[in-house]
Amino acid sequence: MSRLEEVAYQLSSPLVQVQWLLLLLVPLLLRLHYYYASRRRSSRRHGSNCSDDKQPQLQLPPSPPGLLPIIGHLHLIGDLPHVSLCDLAAKHAAGGDGLMLLHLGAVPTLIVSTPQAANAIMRTHDHVFASRPASTATDDLMYGSTDIAFSPYGEHWRQARKLVTSHLFTVKKVQSYRSARKEEVRLVLAKLHEAAAAAGTAVDMSTMMNTFANDIVSRAVSGKFFRAEGRNKLFRELVEANSALFGGFNLEDYFPGLARSLGFLSRRFLHNRAQETHKRWDELLETILSDHERRNSSLHRHRHDDHDDGEGDFTDVLLSVQKGYGMTRDHVKAILVDMFSAGTDTSSLVLELAMAELMRNPQQKAKLQGEVRKHTPEGQETVEEEDIANMPYLRAVVKETLRLHPPVPLLLPRLSMADCIVQGYYVPSGTRVIVNAWALGRDPESWQEKPEEFMPERFMDGGSAAGVDFKGNHFQFLPFGAGRRICPGLNFGMATVEIMLANLMYCFDWQLPSAMEEKGVDMTEVFGLTVHPKEKLMLVPKLPGAAAPATS
């Protein structure tokens, strides 16, 4: 990677972005500011075709003071935007019923910070706010944004989503991967047993959980031979490359017109890297598709062979149904990239952060271990998926982890497709919409019982959040979104998380390395497409009942 590309990769902080822009682009930004100001004046003269008010007032949602020429409110966004936006909303969105309008560079952006406002956007007016902003990065990486996560709302998106919900993520299909999950969990447990045998050896749980989640998705996509030729490692590298590109600096996010006029600069810092990453994805996915087609052709000629491996991987399913949904080969590849990016990061982060919170809260850790060990049949080496039905506290721990640490705290941005009146406020067509799931999960009116603390008990029977789920029905708790754009693979991901976490608690006791015992687990975050801990989670496993080893 060249020095210029390294610099581009590091420019993920909004404050650094502002400094860079001001130093290098002031002349062109002045022209852009003049154009944008004219456009804003024009937009206020237009009417509305979407209303929940009989006599709509063309009043924009409230904005914080401090709007600057050119950069708008960018200077108010810190290194952790979900936290900055939550603080800004607490001060300036109260009069807007949870809605706040920011101008991030040249882009009008509606910030949604309360359950009531989220309900209005993602249920009442979901049909207006169901699209995605255009992005060169997603066009480059996702075959022209023809995947599911980043595709604009329209017939292609509807068909692609229908395909995956009808064929890939049904309850029956998720259950069909039970044996695959069991085998992958056993591989992780074997490595942890080796570490426990070497008393006091600390394990990098962050990397281990990321590898586990990636291997689960790799197996689901390409079958049980996914480790052939190191494909699982290459998949992991490419997922990391995607995360860096989506979470890094992108001029287009703030100044789309300027980004187009400075195409040469955009290509230098982002487009070239995205194209190179896309090329590697395409070569790997083409190999997988071709391998599956050759295998299926051979099996078709020899029907008497017993060829069912019991899993029926995603690639086989997509190839068999793609024509019925109008999907091209590139569309299939785009969907597969989605599977890797979403499936790896979300599951691994939930596992890592659940373990981190349990280490910080030993009472809850002991309670979870007690439940898991009580409801796993005596003499059974590992927790089986059928045992989990009797473990409500396990599910409460997963929910509480998602409440405090939604993997994508600002979800993916939405785009208004028409002028709309939301809770009495005028939202022009083309407005970018950010739903702050992190703020929703800490909303003091919804979570009145110590919202900043890790308390899984709130989700248990009799708790203040008993019955609250993450499937888009309760707008104070939206780690996977809601409405048309809710994550279609959440059941697949949660099955992966629950079986792994249950076995980590069942098979081992856990302690911090001695160097960490005094300061504890560092929960400092780093913002990107997903938010992850700054420091690796290092833990020491030991077999239940074993004497506590000296750790390092």
pLDDT tens digit string along 444-463?
A: 999 999 999 999 999 999 99
The model's pTM is 0.89
**Under 8 Å between Cβ of 366 and 480:** no
Six token digits for residue 293: 């087609």
432 or 44, higher pLDDT: 432
Q: In the predicted model, what is the mean pLDDT of residues 173-181? A: 94
Q: In the predicted model, what is the mean pLDDT of residues 54-58? A: 54
How many residues would you count in the chain? 552
2 or 441, higher pLDDT: 441
What local confidence, expressed as pLDDT, does residue 303 receive?
A: 45
pLDDT class for 263, splitting at 50, 70, 90?
low
- How far is 18 from 9, CA to CA, in rounded Å? 15
CATH of 3-542, one of 3.40.50.10490, 3.30.70.1450, 1.10.630.10, 3.30.160.270: 1.10.630.10
- How far is 181 from 383, CA to CA, in rounded Å? 12
**Under 8 Å between Cβ of 205 and 537:** yes
| pLDDT exceeds 50 at position 218 | yes
Q: Of 229, 247, 237, which is closest to residue 211 (Cα–Cα)?
A: 237
Q: In the predicted model, what is the mean pLDDT of residues 423-427? A: 96
Q: Which residues contact 289 (CB under 8 A, 6 or more apart)?
A: 315, 319, 329, 332, 333
Largest alpha-carbon pair distance within the chain?
74
Q: In the predicted model, what is the mean pLDDT of residues 233-248? A: 87
Q: In the predicted model, what is the mean pLDDT of residues 69-85? A: 93
Q: In the predicted model, what is the mean pLDDT of residues 105-131? A: 97
- How far is 225 from 228, CA to CA, in rounded Å? 6
How many separate helices (H) and strands (E) can be counted in the chain?
19, 11
Q: In the predicted model, what is the mean pLDDT of residues 241-266? A: 73
Where in the chain are the domains?
Answer: 3-542
Q: Which residues contact 305 (CB under 8 A, 6 or more apart)?
A: 299
- How far is 425 from 422, CA to CA, in rounded Å? 5
456-461-462-464 Cα dihedral, nearest 10 degrees: 40
Instruction: Name the strand (E) or helix (H) holding 421.
Output: strand 420-422
What local confidence, expressed as pLDDT, does residue 199 receive?
A: 84
pLDDT, averaged across the chain: 87
| pLDDT exceeds 80 at position 247 | no
Which residues contribute to the annotated binding site?
487
| pLDDT exceeds 80 at position 508 | yes
pLDDT class for 267, splitting at 50, 70, 90?
low
Q: Of 258, 332, 278, which is closest to residue 140 (Cα–Cα)?
A: 278
Which residues contribute to the annotated binding site for heme?
487
pLDDT tens digit string along 328-380?
A: 999 999 999 999 988 899 999 999 999 999 999 999 999 999 999 999 999 99
Q: DSSP string covering 254-304, please?
A: T-HHHHHHTHHHHIIIIIHHHHHHHHHHHHHHHHHHHHHHHHHHHHHHTTT
What local confidence, expressed as pLDDT, does residue 262 receive?
A: 63
Whether the CA torsion 142, 148, 150, 154 is positive or negative: it is positive
What local confidence, expressed as pLDDT, does residue 245 receive?
A: 85
Q: Of 145, 121, 148, which is closest to residue 472 (Cα–Cα)?
A: 121
Percent pLDDT > 70 in the chain is: 83
What local confidence, expressed as pLDDT, does residue 83 receive?
A: 96
308 or 430, higher pLDDT: 430
Query: Residue 451 forms beta bridges with which residues?
Result: none
**Under 8 Å between Cβ of 202 and 540:** yes
Q: In the predicted model, what is the mean pLDDT of residues 138-152? A: 95
pLDDT class for 484, splitting at 50, 70, 90?
very high
| pLDDT exceeds 80 at position 76 | yes
pLDDT class for 547, splitting at 50, 70, 90?
low
Q: Of 130, 385, 106, 53, which is closest to residue 258 (Cα–Cα)?
A: 106
